[in-house]
Amino acid sequence: MHAVGLITEYNPLHNGHRYHLQTAKQVSGADCTVVVMSGNWLQRGEPALLDKWTRTELALAAGADLVVELPVYFATQPAHLFARGGVAILSALGCDSLVFGAEHPDLDFAKLTTAMATMANGDFQHYNATFATQFNAALQATTGVTLTSANDMLSFCYYAANQRLARPLKLYPIQRRVAGHAETTITPGETFASGTAIRQAALQADWPAVEPVVPPATLAALKTNRLQSWADFWPYLQYQLLTVDVAHSGQYDQMAEGLEYRMRAMVQTSHDFQDFLGQVKSKRYTYTRLQRVATAALLQLTKAEVQAAQAHPYIRLLGFNSTGQAYLHQVKKQLPLPLYTKINQQLREHALQLDYRAGRVYELINHQSQDLYRRPLRITGG
């Protein structure tokens, strides 16, 4: 059996994602679709609307054969580390190819990755410019191209991560069938919408708007599950920032020098999470960067422990169908990474401690066990 990989978040799974799943096998000729999916905390530094188990079930219903978790120490990182983690796990699982959506799939991403050395070696520490601005300046100087669309940037990072592999995957960028990430409304009569627009409509329970742009199973899940957002976790973040000594909060992952003092000061005068972001925002930091730092603070993820965990990745199985089970049986004896199907006391205290911690915080709102006593979902067929 040959497998194609997808790196996803499914927040929530919508019609664009279903198209991606359906197209992956067609363009790659694979027998099995392997999905690496972020857990309960996402790349933009926010909690997932639906928990990872619900999203796994939706992925399997939409055409995925095997779903594994992208650990929190990769899932909540900038694009180049997010991509590196996902690509490494797909490679470890023996996938032959990776299919991903891009705004401009005709770009020669392979040539653009020659600028990766510039990104890796540059310090990008100019105070009044964001990382993305500085990165694109370096890319423009090297290649004459800038990447202003989120998925084009991520596509570049997939190619760069793939070049690090001893056995690179075959990469297939495809045209995204969805509205732009910046779109905040669902256009009447359309069957595709951005995740941002769908999340906003779902949080407002605007089901007539949501129904045309998501599969029926997603609509049912959104209607019947507790939906999480930063507003739910804001009191816990306030508590963390107000009570933890700034000498310790300065060690949180992705925290820039001095930002911990600014966050400590602004949290005392902020009315809610969005107000807090607005007060902390400066030219140097994007809202996404600040959300990722806030996630690290909430979960108490330090830079040292995140970097240590990234050096020892693993494969956490979330769900599969009969095709996925057969493929896993084919490759499991040759896996170069540990494969975990459940969390016991030793794992939660050591190898999986960061994901276990992230799950426990998510449970404060979700009220459903995310790791203990949870076994991979198994569905018939596939």
Question: Is there a binding annotation on residue 101?
Answer: yes
Question: Is there a binding annotation on residue 13?
Answer: yes
Q: Residue 378 belongs to what H/E stretch?
A: strand 377-378
CA distance 55 to 207: 18
SS3 193: coil
Question: Is there a binding annotation on residue 7?
Answer: yes
Please identify which residue in the block is written with the tokens 């992956």: 24
CA distance 32 to 242: 48
Question: Is there a binding annotation on residue 271?
Answer: no
- The one-letter amino acid at 155: S
Question: Is there a binding annotation on residue 19?
Answer: yes
Question: Is there a binding annotation on residue 380?
Answer: no
SS3 146: coil
Please identify which residue in the block is written with the tokens 């300065």: 250
Question: Is there a binding annotation on residue 16?
Answer: yes
Q: Residue 99: beta bridge partners?
A: 172
Question: Is there a binding annotation on residue 176?
Answer: yes
Question: Is there a binding annotation on residue 14?
Answer: yes
* Residue-wise DSSP of 164-192: TSSSPPEEEEEE--S--TT--SPPTT-S-
Please identify which residue in the block is written with the tokens 């569905």: 379
Both tokens assigned to 37: 């999916």
Question: Is there a binding annotation on residue 151?
Answer: yes
CA 78 to chain centroid, in Å, comes to 10
Question: Is there a binding annotation on residue 10?
Answer: yes
Both tokens assigned to 306: 């995140």
CA distance 290 to 274: 11
Instruction: Pick out the residues of the known binding site.
Output: 7-20, 101, 151, 176
Q: Mark the binding-site residues for ATP, compressed into ranges.
A: 7-20, 101, 151, 176
